[in-house]
Amino acid sequence: MRHIKSLVVFTFIVLIVGAGVIYYLCTSELPPAIEVSTEGQPTIGYPKARVHVVVFEEPKCSNCREYNDDVYPTIKKEFIDTNKITYTVIPVSFLPGSMPAAVALLCVYNENTEYPNDEMFFKYLDYIYDHQPDEHKDWATPEKLSEFAKKTSPAIKIENLKKCIEMETYRVQIEKNTAYGKEIMGGVISTPTVYVNGIEVKEITVDGISKLIKEVLEHEGVY
């Protein structure tokens, strides 16, 4: 009976130490990444950066507003303005009545179809989130969106924009984006969803995103 006691204690120590070593060896790797295609999507930051952050956003969702108000400014200051990352927003629409707002974003982006205006897209997106009415109100009308655009920048041609929203010029593109988001998120789309080089951020806070960006930068040998 003495033998079995030593055996149990010995096994226990081996298991604990083994688990510790394996955990230590394996967690230095990054979580699994997926491929996120961003061709033709509004993008700012350094175009050739080694780290690419992609955010799926829905113009009516209130969590996206919170992300834009509380998290995005810090990410912009620390990583975009310092040219450490490329930053892309993929606009999607799945909330009732949000399609006009999503279309309007692409209307502003593609005002000159030959030279899509990334800066203007982000300015307009910011303005929408800063002044976003309640998620349950049907606020996204061509009039309201034009008013937002007028205040975003005098450079936006309001008549063209109104026409573009009313004709739902970019509806197909938004629907494609939404279907794409659904596909890569495994069937259920949620916003905001943030990917850092294809790794989904679990905790969408300044700390959560910054930590992952730093890890990926380090992994890419940038830091």
Partner 1 sequence: MARNLELYIAWLLASIGTLLSLYFSDIRHLEPCHMCWYQRICLFPLIIILGVAAYKSFFDITRYVLPQIIIGFLFAIYQIAIQEIPGWEPINICGAGPSCAEKYDIGLGPITIPMLSAVGFFVIGFLLLLSWKRNSRKQMEEK
**With respect to partner 1, which residue has the nearer C-beta, 8 or 167?**
8
Nearest to 199 by CA among 32, 71, 28: 32
Write down the least CB distance from residue 223 to partner 1, Å: 23
Asked if 83 touches partner 1 (CB under 8 A), the answer is no
Using N-to-C axis directions, what is the helix angle for 158-166 and 142-152, rounded to 10°? 150
| SS3 label, residue 51 | strand
**With respect to partner 1, which residue has the nearer C-beta, 3 or 48?**
3
Tell which positions 23-62 bind partner 1, by CB under 8 A.
Answer: 23, 26-27, 31-32
CA atoms within 13 A on the CB side of 35: 2
Which H, E and C letters describe 107-157, residue by residue? HHHCCCCCCCCHHHHHHHHHHHHHCCCCCCCCCCCHHHHHHHHHHHCCCCC
**With respect to partner 1, which residue has the nearer C-beta, 9 or 172?**
9
Q: Provide the token pair at 40.
A: 């033709």
Q: Provide the token pair at 61.
A: 């969702």
Buried residues in 53-62 as b, exposed as e (16+ CB within 10 A): bbbbbbbbbe
Write down the least CB distance from residue 1 to partner 1, Å: 6
Among 22, 167, 172, 179, binds partner 1 (CB under 8 A): 22
Q: Which of the stretches 11-19, 45-53, 157-165, 212-220 binds partner 1 when contact is defined by CB under 8 A?
A: 11-19
Asked if 3 touches partner 1 (CB under 8 A), the answer is yes
Write down the least CB distance from residue 183 to partner 1, Å: 15
Which residues of this chain interact with partner 1, rule CB under 8 A?
Answer: 1, 3-5, 7-9, 11-12, 15, 18-19, 22-23, 26-27, 31-32
